[in-house]
């Protein structure tokens, strides 16, 4: 393959990714809450079984991951979650999912894992691309001061922050909207 063929392949992939993003954006609406999609949190709880956290490598954690992923994959959302340590889970979301929906999905993963395993798992959220390395997008942790899960975006550069998020303060005690 010469340089022209490689450039053509890259252009075709970019056009396909753009069309996929438009299709996904038009087919996925926030007024259709993730919580009502199948399998629901109750379905996952029945299949996995409640109780203590157990070992993060056990069958319960794998079943939770598969069922959580199935909920989104059945709606064509590229989402994957897995547990990497006794206190941490990693959530991969396709780059075509809007940032607001990624935040919603990551908080949902945090809350459902807590509901099933009776334990807070810190969730690292990554945005995935077909031909690039995943990029860390956010962390979801329990806020010690307020006792609620917080999805905090990790922006490498100030200009990387989407414009529509600049108007909202990320710290509930701060009135300064320019702070990431």
- As a whole number, mean pLDDT of residues 87-94 equals 94
What proportion of the chain, given as a percentage, has pLDDT over 70? 75
Give residue 174's pLDDT.
Answer: 44
Model pLDDT for residues 91-139, shown as the tens digit of each residue:
999 989 988 899 999 999 999 999 999 999 999 999 998 888 888 899 9
Domain that holds residue 153: 34-165
Mean pLDDT for all residues in the chain: 80
Do 102 and 138 form a contact (C-beta atoms < 8 A)?
Answer: yes
Q: Which residues contact 59 (CB under 8 A, 6 or more apart)?
A: none
Give residue 111's pLDDT.
Answer: 93
Whether 16 is in a domain gets the answer no
Nearest to 16 by CA among 172, 152, 130: 130
Whether 121 is in a domain gets the answer yes
- Local confidence band at 159 (pLDDT 50, 70, 90 cut-offs): low
Nearest to 64 by CA among 76, 46, 78: 46
Residue 55 tokens, joined? 């070992």
Whether 24 is in a domain gets the answer no
Whether 28 is in a domain gets the answer no
Total domains present in the chain: 1
Whether 55 is in a domain gets the answer yes
Predicted structure pTM score: 0.69
Q: 151 by DSSP, 3-state: which?
A: strand
Whether 84 is in a domain gets the answer yes
Give residue 172's pLDDT.
Answer: 45
Whether 104 is in a domain gets the answer yes
Whether 140 is in a domain gets the answer yes
Who wins on pLDDT, 28 or 152? 152
């Amino acid at each position: 393959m010469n340089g022209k063929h490689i450039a053509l392949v890259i252009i075709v992939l970019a056009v396909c990714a753009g069309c996929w993003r438009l299709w996904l954006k038009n087919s996925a609406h926030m007024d259709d809450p993730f919580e009502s999609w199948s399998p629901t949190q109750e379905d996952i709880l029945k299949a996995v079984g409640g109780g203590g956290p157990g070992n993060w490598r056990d069958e319960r954690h794998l079943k939770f991951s598969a069922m959580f992923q199935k909920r989104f994959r059945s709606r064509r959302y590229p989402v994957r979650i897995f547990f990497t340590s006794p206190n941490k889970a990693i959530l991969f979301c396709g780059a075509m999912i809007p940032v607001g929906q990624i935040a919603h999905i990551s908080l949902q993963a945090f809350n459902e894992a807590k509901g099933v395993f009776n334990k807070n798992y810190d969730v690292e959220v990554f945005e995935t691309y077909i031909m690039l390395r995943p990029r860390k997008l956010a962390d979801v942790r329990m806020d010690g001061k307020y006792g609620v899960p917080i999805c905090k975006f990790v922006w490498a550069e100030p200009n990387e922050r989407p414009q529509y998020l600049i108007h909202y303060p990320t710290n509930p005690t701060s009135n300064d909207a320019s702070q990431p």
